[in-house]
Each structure stands twice: as C-alpha cells, then as structure tokens.
Structure 1
Amino acid sequence: MPSFADVAALALELPGTEEGVRYGHRTWQVGGKVYAWERPFSKADIKRFGSTAPPSGPVLAVSVADLGEKEAVLAAGDDAFFTIPHFDGYAAVLVELDRVGTDALREALEEAWACVAPAEAVAAHLRTHRASGGGGASA
C-alpha cells in the first residue's frame, strides 16, 4: 500500500517534475502544470457520499488525457480508481492509495505526467524507458 512518500518518489523520477503545495496540499507538476495532487475530501464531498462511507485512507488525484480516457480508466475495473461528483466533466481520476498497487500507481503518474509534459520530454522519456526495458507513458 503506497503512501504519499511513495507518490513523491515515483513522481520525482519523471523528468522535470517539481513538488509544490497548493491549498495546503502537495502537488506534482512539470513546466508549471500540475498533474497529480493530494485530494482530501471536503465537507461537501463527504456529504455527497450520503450513507456510503467515503474512503478513509489517503487519496491522490491524477490528470488523464480527456474525458474518454477517464471513462476508460474507470471502466478498467481497478477499484482503486474512482471519481466523485466534484470531478464531473473534469479530466482527472482519484486514486485510493490504500487499494492501489505500486505498478498501477506508477503507470497512473506516468500517464498523468505525459498529459502535461512537453512533447519532447515525453518522447525522450519513452526512448529511455524502452531502451532500459521499462514500461512508460504513451504520448
């Protein structure tokens, strides 16, 4: 079960990533564009869960390419990935860290990074990962 320290370590492996703080919560960004952030639930979020208990552990938000990609991620069946009404119409998904595997987290961060990173950085990262036999973000 990854922690935010693990998120930071994985994110900071991605070229040009910087860690920051927005609204009192950690963010990970490249070129000034945030692609992942700590996402605690607001009182309004919790109220919208109604009688269903919200996840009690840490939650990360990650960008996705577009709403079609968001639907694909959610339809893939990994119950660590979910959304809430606040994210309706927004190209991002939430990740319950207590339920996600490290490989799935790494892939989600790489995909989110690739959504906002400069195209040349993404291409260089893909070349490096392919040469080393690693996976990698799609362009």
Structure 2
Amino acid sequence: MGGRGRRARVADVHAVARGMPFVTVWEREDGTDRPVYQIGGKSFVFFRTARPDAVDPETGEKYDDVIMIWTESEDEKLALVSDEATPFFSTPHFDGHPSVLVRASRIGELSKQELTEIIQDAWLSRASQRRATNWLKEHRL
C-alpha cells in the first residue's frame, strides 16, 4: 500500500462512509464524535471508544482513536493486518471477526484512494446483495 495519491485524513473516513448510498449514521448519545456508519442496520465503519483491548504497549494507555472497519472476510482481514506496509491491526477481542482496526493517528499512512477502496469494500461486505450488485454495476468495470 501507499503512494497512490494524497495521504488520507480522518475527514476522508467520514466523507467516504457518509457518501455511500443508503447509509445511516448513528451518533452517540454521550456527545462524543464517534459515529457508527451503517447500511441496512449493519455497521461497516465504527469509531470506537477507548477500550482495554487496544493499548499502547509502552504506556498501557488505552488508544482513544481506534476506528473499526469491516472486511469482506477473515482472509481479507488477515491480509491487511499481516501486511507491515499498512497501519491495520487487530486484537484478540476481534479474533474470528471480519474487521480490522486502525488508529486515526495513523490513517495518513494510507492514500485517500486506498482508504476509499477499503471503506467501499466494507460497505459492500455489509450491504444487501441487491444494493451491492447495483453499486458494483454503476462503479466498477
């Protein structure tokens, strides 16, 4: 990964996720800016609160900027987290769950194009077959 256009920004996560069709945004009641982006009631991008499963190995402090992004499959997840060129990671809490984690502070290690493709794939993995097929017909060759 890397090298395909400008660096991604956290604002791109919001813009791309919100820009997919039929997306609803669930805002937290506690007033924090940690939206959950959903398609058909299924989350595909999720800004997490600090949790004990994702901590700084040096300080033990919980990461407060983790974004969860669904993947198409466990194989896709493993490909992303095992590629040292990406900022993606997982924790034992997500073993067997088709999603990757990324810290917002490291999102710039991806290009905007790479981030866009990952979020689009997340949406496709959670959308109904009809919606996914229609979107693919409109956007892919």
Shift of 1:54: 7.2
TM-score (normalised: structure 1) = 0.76
1:29 corresponding residue in structure 2: 38
TM-score (normalised: structure 2) = 0.75
1:19 corresponding residue in structure 2: 25
- What RMSD in Å do the two structures reach over aligned CA positions? 2.6
Query: What is the distance in 2 between the residues matched to 1:36 and 1:56?
Result: 17
Q: Does 1:62 align with 2:72?
A: no
What whole-Å deviation, never above 9, does each CA across 1:80-129 have from its counterpart, x for those lacking one? 21112221221110123333321121111111111110111111111111
Query: What is the distance in 2 between the residues matched to 1:19 and 1:72?
Result: 28
**Which blocks of at least 5 consecutive residues in structure 1 are unaligned?**
132-139
Return structure 1 stretches of 4+ with deviation > 4 angstroms.
52-57
- Could you tell me the percent identity over the aligned residues? 27
Retained in 2: the 8 A contact 1:55–1:96? no
The correspondence of residues 93-108 of structure 1 with structure 2, limited to 5 A, is 93-97=100-104, 98=106, 99-108=109-118
Q: Give the AA of the match of 1:37.
A: F
Q: Choose between structure 1 and 2: higher strand proportion.
A: 1
1:9 corresponding residue in structure 2: 15
Query: What is the distance in 1 between the residues matched to 2:52 and 2:92?
Result: 13
**Which blocks of at least 5 consecutive residues in structure 2 are unaligned?**
1-7
Query: What is the distance in 2 between the residues matched to 1:78 and 1:16?
Result: 32
Alignment counterpart, residue 86 of structure 2, candidates 75, 79, 85: 79
1:135 corresponding residue in structure 2: none
**1:35/1:100 Cα in 2 relative to 1: closer, same or farther (>3 Å)?**
same
Retained in 2: the 8 A contact 1:36–1:109? yes
The number of residues matched between the two structures is 128
Retained in 1: the 8 A contact 2:45–2:67? yes
Retained in 1: the 8 A contact 2:50–2:62? no
What whole-Å deviation, never above 9, does each CA across 1:40-62 have from its counterpart, x for those lacking one? 4324532xx54377796733111
Higher relative contact order (CA 8 A, sep 6+): 2
